């Protein structure tokens, strides 16, 4: 069976792929000429999350999702971020009032934001193909196969389902995820604490004001040991690593472990094929930039393709090339920040660790130094 060619085929139904479909549908004369390929989200089993992750979405990402009608019902505001280094002086505090925004960002559950995006996509007019597609073959048109279907499109936009090929780094760290109850919560405050073995983040949890979402980056052996600990022993280990800023800490529910690595590849992958989101880059979770960067990919790709959508008979490659050029600065800066921070602060070199503490103190004392970094983490480089 062969479908008539689509204008655009979006490969991947994760958050970035769905956001891209919504952005394009708003600009397309006929949204039905856009195909969104991939399965629906798996249903929750007896109230348990399919994906245990929570996501820190910055101010710019929230504005985008709200404009697309895809903001989830539950979110916890991040009004300030406290950054410190274990065992060293120096810390910095980034506050939303310094940047004249209502909040720095929000924490949402992965399941809820994905469900909101799928619900919005279902009403957008884009064509859903509920099959997992294979790798697209560049050309004019691009060809791909999904299940028993042979498809063709002027452009294939890959958002997930395959690892970027190019730059890569293994950090020797796994992320330990759990939900933590704090005896003395600080409303709206997130914490990023750099330890000798990796960063430890405590994020306001969308389910309750007294809960935090833990992202604790440690070597693989330590991650396995933490996962095997009983609740009381886990609480003691976390308390020692994090300190007393939130009072007594108690783990609730399961502990999950994910390996950490960085991969980045080209934004263009042959004639008619572009990559965004996890198909373009996967990042270390420090500063929570992965999905935020992917959503900026989606918004800017849709903007680059908007003039072409009105004239789809023309060559799409110049629009894709313009998108790739515009994304270089934002991608490069975000990759550099998220790749450098966990390696600098986790080094065994005492001089480097002292310099890291001094840098945090300088950021706190000199707003002119702090503002550019905070602004980038808040919204990235947009054009």
> What confidence tens digit (pLDDT) does each residue in 73-125 have?
999 999 999 988 876 666 788 899 988 899 999 999 999 999 999 999 999 99
Please state the domain extents for the chain: 6-43+50-166+263-379
Could you tell me if 49 and 43 are in contact, meaning their C-beta atoms sit under 8 angstroms apart? no
Could you tell me if 227 and 176 are in contact, meaning their C-beta atoms sit under 8 angstroms apart? yes
Tell me the pLDDT tens digit for each residue of 239-286: 999 999 999 999 999 999 999 999 999 999 999 999 999 999 999 998
Share of the chain above pLDDT 90, in %: 74
Answer yes or no: is pLDDT of 1 > 50.
no
Q: Which of 319, 316, 322, 317 is nearest to 7 (CA)?
A: 316
What's the Cα-to-Cα distance from 265 to each of 37, 158, 175, 278, 328, rounded to whole Å? 21, 12, 23, 10, 11
pLDDT of residue 233: 98
Cα–Cα distance for residue pair 173/277, rounded to 1 Å: 22
pLDDT of residue 345: 64
Cα–Cα distance for residue pair 232/309, rounded to 1 Å: 58
Cα–Cα distance for residue pair 279/282, rounded to 1 Å: 8
Answer yes or no: is pLDDT of 218 > 90.
yes
pLDDT of residue 43: 75
Written as six digits, the tokens of 144 are: 């791909």
Q: Tell me the backbone φ, ψ of residue 248, rounded to 5 degrees.
A: -65, 140
Mean pLDDT of 322-348: 85
Alpha helix positions (H), the chain = 15-27, 59-67, 110-122, 220-228, 231-242, 290-309, 317-345, 350-365, 367-379
Tell me the pLDDT tens digit for each residue of 141-191: 999 999 888 999 999 999 998 999 999 999 999 999 999 999 999 999 999
Answer yes or no: is pLDDT of 364 > 60.
no
Written as six digits, the tokens of 249 are: 């800490």
CA 241 from centre of chain: 25
Sequence-distant (≥ 6) Cβ neighbours of residue 208 within 8 angstroms: none
Mean pLDDT, the chain, as a whole number?
89
Answer yes or no: is pLDDT of 362 > 50.
no
Residue 354 binned pLDDT confidence (cut-offs 50, 70, 90): very low
Answer yes or no: is pLDDT of 216 > 80.
yes
6-43+50-166+263-379 maps to CATH 3.40.190.10: no
Answer yes or no: is pLDDT of 360 > 50.
no
Tell me the pLDDT tens digit for each residue of 6-47: 999 999 999 999 999 999 999 999 999 999 999 988 776 555
Q: Which of 45, 41, 53, 42 is nearest to 254 (CA)?
A: 53
Residue 363 binned pLDDT confidence (cut-offs 50, 70, 90): very low
Poorest-confidence range of 99-113, 220-234, 246-260, 367-381? 367-381
């Amino acid at each position: 069976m062969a479908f008539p060619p689509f204008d655009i085929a979006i490969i991947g139904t994760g958050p970035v792929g769905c956001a891209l479909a919504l952005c394009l549908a708003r600009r397309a004369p006929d949204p039905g000429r856009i195909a969104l390929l991939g399965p629906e989200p798996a249903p929750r089993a007896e109230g348990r999350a399919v994906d245990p992750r929570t996501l820190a979405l910055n101010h710019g990402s929230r504005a985008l999702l709200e404009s697309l009608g895809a903001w989830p019902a539950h979110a916890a505001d991040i009004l300030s971020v406290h950054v410190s280094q274990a065992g060293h002086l120096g810390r910095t505090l980034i506050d939303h009032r310094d940047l004249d925004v209502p909040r720095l960002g929000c924490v949402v559950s992965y399941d809820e934001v994905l469900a909101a995006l799928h619900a919005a996509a279902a009403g957008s007019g884009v064509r859903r193909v509920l099959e997992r597609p294979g790798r697209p073959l560049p050309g004019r048109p691009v060809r791909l196969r999904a299940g028993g279907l042979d498809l063709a499109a002027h452009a294939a936009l890959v958002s997930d389902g395959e690892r970027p090929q190019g730059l890569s780094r293994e950090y020797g760290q796994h992320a330990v995820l759990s939900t933590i109850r704090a005896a003395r919560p600080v409303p709206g405050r997130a914490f990023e604490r750099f330890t000798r073995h990796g960063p430890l983040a405590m994020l306001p949890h969308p389910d309750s004001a007294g809960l935090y979402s833990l992202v604790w980056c440690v070597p693989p052996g330590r991650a396995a040991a933490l996962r095997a600990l009983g609740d009381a022993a886990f609480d003691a280990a976390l308390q020692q690593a994090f300190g007393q800023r939130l009072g007594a800490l108690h783990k609730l529910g399961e502990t999950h472990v994910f390996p950490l690595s960085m991969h980045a590849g080209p934004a263009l992958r042959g004639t008619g094929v572009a990559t965004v989101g996890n198909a373009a880059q996967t990042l270390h979770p420090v500063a929570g930039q992965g999905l935020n960067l992917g959503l900026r990919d989606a918004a800017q790709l849709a903007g680059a393709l908007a003039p072409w959508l009105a004239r789809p008979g023309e060559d799409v490659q110049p629009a894709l090339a313009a998108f790739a050029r515009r994304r270089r600065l934002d991608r490069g800066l975000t990759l550099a920040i998220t790749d450098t921070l966990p390696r600098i602060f986790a080094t065994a070199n005492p001089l480097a660790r002292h310099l890291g503490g001094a840098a945090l103190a300088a950021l706190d004392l000199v707003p002119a130094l702090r503002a550019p970094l905070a602004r980038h983490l808040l919204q990235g480089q947009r054009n």
